[in-house]
């Protein structure tokens, strides 16, 4: 009896202690964001602008010897950039103050290679200042891209350069007001001008820059900053392993403090990581980062940008979208149009939260305390949350929509100041009295968005099926977002047959072959059609049920490849290089095969003014060519070198590489692969094409 009393009293006592604890906010679970990371995460969407001497040389990376005199943007207007970004719903702009070529957009005291020696404003211009002023005027935050690799500076590779780099950082972080983010790209191809040395300089990126002391300096100068670094040290934010605009569906905002960071860790984060390192998705509104006129018809359309939105912000990342600035110093009108339409589409998509302030019930509530009740997830207040007792890792929340309601999007946010917890969840809808699972996913983090076909239901149920600790959910949303038809893809095979495709189910296509804008009165697409030779194809997808059209897809096709023959290769599958299918690739493998020259007989003579190379689209593949020479010939015997150089950023951004030169008459072409991204014995070709006059 005595024993029973003792046990009973102890039990009651611990029950009381437990419930008191549960009436308190949950303790943080694992690493948590710093105040700066939190401020940054809440920005969600901001811009990059890429502008440098590359803008005038049609390059992706300058070598460092380009003439400063080229820089003369006669209409430069940072206020235009800021206005567009603001109207598009962005919260800040990161400017390429210095790209890999070393040219500075501000009149740095420490180099002559800057705007101060350019014709722009007679050397009195300061683009970083103008950007800072414009950001201020439009209520945007300012960020700085300062390339650690400097292909111009004579001291690059020596200890002296670190002083130079820090001096420049000091200028940028002192003279332009508050900076929200600093961006250190890790690219380093080794070779460069280096003050005239024209050589290859290798550095060990983990030690050379002495990041630790550089970070101390940065944080001293800008206490509210976040550091992005892909150059040999883990900063406050991480790259997602691709520049295509998506992060992993599972995305932990965690990494380990020390140790190797693999591609998979960049892309998915690390569930067991001991440091908070959230993901930033950086991508360009065009295929490349700098402006190239050939890409004027390749600006991403609203459906493409929406896809990026869901795959970045909708997967617990931020979105850093780039605008390449034109040589005149402005954002191209098409880029502006797409960015503004995209901003409008995002606004429209999430305008009405169908569950805000609805009736909600939770399977568990922390300490049965209203402060942690279900309604806290739908009260529109980011500082309140629904939470359960510490021991609970499976819980659900049911929301009554009041009447049958149509929706196709689900939004959920964890209260990340207490850590990222949820490992798996489902989302169900009550349709005709039965629960139906409409979506399921893994991590949540700051924000998770799920898309599914429209469903009409009276109730919805969000269930956490696995979590690292008790769930802490700050916000839930259910939306009926407009659906956009994807821009059709246009491809031509070697026989000259053009096919139109899309991922959507149901639409029909209309197209033109004379450069005019397609409408529903244009040619209706039934089967692949012949459109050989130089032709501009424009196409739209059209959904007869809704009467909606997609944006226009455009493809400028050059001469026919019908008579082209790959010479000297006894392998039929080499025809994949000309099949118009970007997913198929041919590889030349073998010991010491590089340099390897791929020779094509064009069947006739043409005025060849450029060539196009598409690398393997599989980023894991070897054979992605980085250094090339391109030759032409009229007899397949004597060859003339017409272009040579590097496909600069091909590893991170494996898009079409286009090189132009003064047109020459040729019947044979040779693309010689000198080196690839992996430094092994493979040359891979997805497609080869030409630019003719």
- Report, in Å, the least distance between residue 60 CB and ligand FUL: 6
- Report, in Å, the least distance between residue 377 CB and ligand FUL: 36
Question: Token match 């024209």: residue?
Answer: 198
Helix axes 302-312, 333-349, angle to 10 degrees: 60
- Report, in Å, the least distance between residue 49 CB and ligand FUL: 11
The residues, any chain, with a CB within 8 Å of residue 297's CB and separated by 6 or more, are 554, 556
Instruction: Select the residue interacting with ligand FUL from 649, 657, 676, 677 (CB under 6 A).
Output: 649
Cβ-based nearer residue to ligand FUL, 266 or 449? 266
Cβ-based nearer residue to ligand FUL, 283 or 554? 283
- Report, in Å, the least distance between residue 61 CB and ligand FUL: 6
SS3 category, 56:
helix
Cβ-based nearer residue to ligand FUL, 152 or 649? 649
Q: What angle do CA 495, 501, 506 make, to 5 degrees?
A: 140
Cβ-based nearer residue to ligand FUL, 318 or 442? 318
By CB under 6 A, is residue 487 in contact with ligand FUL? no
- Report, in Å, the least distance between residue 52 CB and ligand FUL: 9
Q: How does DSSP classify residue 315? A: B
Cβ-based nearer residue to ligand FUL, 467 or 648? 648
Helix (H) or strand (E) holding 542: strand 535-543
Between 310 and 349, how does the x/- string for binding to ligand FUL read (CB under 6 A)? ----------------------------------------
Question: Token match 């000297």: residue?
Answer: 568
- Report, in Å, the least distance between residue 320 CB and ligand FUL: 8
- Report, in Å, the least distance between residue 100 CB and ligand FUL: 6
Site for ligand FUL in 274-293 (CB under 6 A): 282, 289
Site for ligand FUL in 141-200 (CB under 6 A): 185, 187
- Report, in Å, the least distance between residue 289 CB and ligand FUL: 4
Cβ-based nearer residue to ligand FUL, 185 or 687? 185
Q: Give dist(CA 335, CA 97) in Å, integer.
A: 21
The residues, any chain, with a CB within 8 Å of residue 6's CB and separated by 6 or more, are none
- Report, in Å, the least distance between residue 365 CB and ligand FUL: 45
Task: Give counts: helices (H), strands (E), the chain.
Answer: 10, 34
Cβ-based nearer residue to ligand FUL, 300 or 672? 300
By CB under 6 A, is residue 652 in contact with ligand FUL? yes
Between 45 and 64, how does the x/- string for binding to ligand FUL read (CB under 6 A)? ---------------xx---
Q: Give dist(CA 281, CA 317) in Å, integer.
A: 6
State whether the Cα torsion 540-543-547-548 is positive or negative: negative
Q: How does DSSP classify residue 83? A: H
Residue, CB closest to ligand FUL: 187
Strand partners, 685: 586
Q: Count the site residues for ligand FUL by CB under 6 A.
A: 8
Between 98 and 117, how does the x/- string for binding to ligand FUL read (CB under 6 A)? --------------------
Q: Give dist(CA 24, CA 371) in Å, integer.
A: 10
- Report, in Å, the least distance between residue 23 CB and ligand FUL: 48
Q: Give dist(CA 122, CA 116) in Å, integer.
A: 8
Residue 595, preceding bond cis, omega within 30 degrees? yes
Q: Which of 653, 650, 632 is nearest to 641 (CA)?
A: 632
- Can you say whether residue 432 is alpha, beta or left, with left for phi > 0 and alpha for psi between -120 and 50 degrees? left
Cβ-based nearer residue to ligand FUL, 253 or 282? 282
Q: What angle do CA 346, 350, 355 make, to 5 degrees?
A: 170
Q: Contact positions toward ligand FUL, by CB under 6 A?
A: 60-61, 185, 187, 282, 289, 649, 652
């Amino acid at each position: 009896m005595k024993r029973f009393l003792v046990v009973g009293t102890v039990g009651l006592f611990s029950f009381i202690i437990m419930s008191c604890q549960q009436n308190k906010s949950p303790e943080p679970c694992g690493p948590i964001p710093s105040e700066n990371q939190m401020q940054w995460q809440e920005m969600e969407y901001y811009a990059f602008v890429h502008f440098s001497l590359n803008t005038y040389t049609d390059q992706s990376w300058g070598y460092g010897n380009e003439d400063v005199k080229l820089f003369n943007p006669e209409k430069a207007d940072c206020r235009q950039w800021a206005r567009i970004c603001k109207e598009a719903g962005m919260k800040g702009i990161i400017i390429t103050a210095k790209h890999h070529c070393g040219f500075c957009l501000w009149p740095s005291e420490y180099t002559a290679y800057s705007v101060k020696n350019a014709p722009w404003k007679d050397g009195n211009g300061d683009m970083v200042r103008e950007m800072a002023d414009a950001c201020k005027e439009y209520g945007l935050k300012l960020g700085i891209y300062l390339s650690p690799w400097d292909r111009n500076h004579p001291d690059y590779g020596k200890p002296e350069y670190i002083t130079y780099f820090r001096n420049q950082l000091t200028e940028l972080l002192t003279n332009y007001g508050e900076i929200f983010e600093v961006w250190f790209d890790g690219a380093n191809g080794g070779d460069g001008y280096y003050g005239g040395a024209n050589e290859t300089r290798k550095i060990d990126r983990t030690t050379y820059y002495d990041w630790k002391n550089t970070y101390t300096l940065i944080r001293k100068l800008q206490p509210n900053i976040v550091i992005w670094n892909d150059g040999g040290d883990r900063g406050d934010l991480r790259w997602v392993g691709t520049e295509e605009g998506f992060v992993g569906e599972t995305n932990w905002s965690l990494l380990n403090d020390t140790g190797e960071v693999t591609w998979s860790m960049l892309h998915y984060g690390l569930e067991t990581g001991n440091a908070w390192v959230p993901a930033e998705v950086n991508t360009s509104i065009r295929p490349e980062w700098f402006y190239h006129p050939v890409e004027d018809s390749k600006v991403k359309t609203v459906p493409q940008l929406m896809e990026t939105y869901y795959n970045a912000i909708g997967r617990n990342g931020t979105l850093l979208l780039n605008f390449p600035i034109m040589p005149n110093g402005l954002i191209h009108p098409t880029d502006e149009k797409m960015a503004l339409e995209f901003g409008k589409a995002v606004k429209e998509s999430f305008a009405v939260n169908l569950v805000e302030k609805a009736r909600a019930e939770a399977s568990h509530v922390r300490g049965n305390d209203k402060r942690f009740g279900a309604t806290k997830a739908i009260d529109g207040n980011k500082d309140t949350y629904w939470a359960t007792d510490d021991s609970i890792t499976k819980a659900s929340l049911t929301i009554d929509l009041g009447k049958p309601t149509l929706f196709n999007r689900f939004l959920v946010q964890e209260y990340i100041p207490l850590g990222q917890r949820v490992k798996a969840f489902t989302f169900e809808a009550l349709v005709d009295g039965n629960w139906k699972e409409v979506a399921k996913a893994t991590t949540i983090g700051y924000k998770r968005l799920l898309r599914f076909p429209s469903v009409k239901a009276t109730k919805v149920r969000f269930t956490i099926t696995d979590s690292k600790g008790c769930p802490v959910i700050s916000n839930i949303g259910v939306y009926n977002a407009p659906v956009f038809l994807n821009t059709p893809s246009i491809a031509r095979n070697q026989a000259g047959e053009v096919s139109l495709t899309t991922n959507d189910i149901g639409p029909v296509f209309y197209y033109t072959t004379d450069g005019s804008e397609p409408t529903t009165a244009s040619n209706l697409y039934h089967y692949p059609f012949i459109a050989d030779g130089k032709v501009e194809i424009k196409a739209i997808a059209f959904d007869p049920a809704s009467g909606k059209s997609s944006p226009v897809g455009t493809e400028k096709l050059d001469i026919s490849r019908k008579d082209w023959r790959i010479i000297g290769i006894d392998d039929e599958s080499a025809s994949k290089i000309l099949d118009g299918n970007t997913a198929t690739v041919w590889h030349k493998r073998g010991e010491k095969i590089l340099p390897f020259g791929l020779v094509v007989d064009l069947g006739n003579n043409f005025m060849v003014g450029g060539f196009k190379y598409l690398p393997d689209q599989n980023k894991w593949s070897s054979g992605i060519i980085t250094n090339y020479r391109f030759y032409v010939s009229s007899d397949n015997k004597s060859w003339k070198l017409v272009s040579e150089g590097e496909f600069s950023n091909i590893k991170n951004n494996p898009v079409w590489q286009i090189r132009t030169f003064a047109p020459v008459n040729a019947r044979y072409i040779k693309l010689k692969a000198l080196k690839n991204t992996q430094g092994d014995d493979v040359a891979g070709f997805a497609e080869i094409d030409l630019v003719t006059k």
